[in-house]
Amino acid sequence: MQFGIFTIADITRDPTTGRVPTEHERLKTMIAEAELAEQVGLDAFALGEHHNPPFVTSSPTTTLAYIGARTEKIILSTATTLITTNDPVKIAEDYAMLQHLTEGRVDLVMGRGNTGPVYPWFGQDIRKGLELAIENYELLHRLWREDVVDWQGEFRTPLQQFTSTPRPLDGVPPFVWHGSIRSPQIAEQAAYYGDGFFHNNIFWPMSHTKQMVELYRRRFEHYGHGSAKQAIVGLGGQAFMRKDSQAAVAEFRPYFDSAPVYGGGPSLEDFTAQTPLVVGSPDQVIERYLTMADHVGDYQRQLFLMDHAGLPHQTVMEQIELLGTEVVPVLRRELDARRPADVPDAPTHASLVAAAEAERGAFDPTYRFETGDNWTGLRAEDARE
pLDDT in tens, the chain (385 residues): 999 999 999 999 999 999 999 999 999 999 999 999 999 999 999 999 888 889 899 999 999 999 999 999 999 999 988 888 889 999 999 999 999 999 999 999 998 876 778 888 888 888 888 899 999 999 999 999 999 999 999 999 999 999 999 999 999 999 999 998 888 999 999 999 999 999 988 888 999 999 999 999 999 999 999 999 999 999 999 999 999 999 999 999 999 999 887 767 899 999 999 999 999 999 999 999 999 999 999 999 999 999 999 999 999 999 999 999 999 999 999 999 999 999 999 999 999 999 999 999 999 998 888 755 555 555 545 544 4
In 10 A of CB 183, how many CB atoms?
17
Residues 6+ away with beta carbon under 8 Å from 379:
370, 371, 372, 373
d(CA 150, CA 300): 35
Q: What is the pLDDT of residue 370?
A: 72
Instruction: Note the Cα 54 to chain centre separation in Å.
Output: 20
Q: What is the pLDDT of residue 385?
A: 47
Helices (H) and strands (E) in the chain, counts: 15, 12
In terms of phi and psi (left: phi > 0; alpha: psi -120 to 50; beta: otherwise), the region of 310 is left
Query: Which range of residues forms the domain containing residue 146?
Result: 2-384
Q: What is the pLDDT of residue 382?
A: 55
Instruction: Note the Cα 141 to chain centre separation in Å.
Output: 17
How deeply is 106 buried, as exposed, middle or buried, from its count of CB atoms within 10 A (0-12, 13-18, 19+)?
buried
Pure H helices in the chain: 23-39, 60-70, 88-101, 118-121, 129-145, 184-193, 206-222, 245-258, 268-274, 282-289, 292-296, 313-322, 328-338, 349-360, 380-384
Number of domains in the chain: 1
Q: What is the pLDDT of residue 111?
A: 87
- Residue pair 137/189 in contact (Cβ under 8 Å)? The answer is yes
d(CA 253, CA 231): 37
Amino acid at position 296, single letter: V
d(CA 252, CA 285): 15
- Residue pair 234/196 in contact (Cβ under 8 Å)? The answer is yes
- Residue pair 365/371 in contact (Cβ under 8 Å)? The answer is no
**What is the domain-level CATH number for residue 226?**
3.20.20.30
Q: What is the pLDDT of residue 373?
A: 52
Instruction: Note the Cα 6 to chain centre separation in Å.
Output: 8
DSSP 8-state secondary structure symbol assigned to residue 114: S
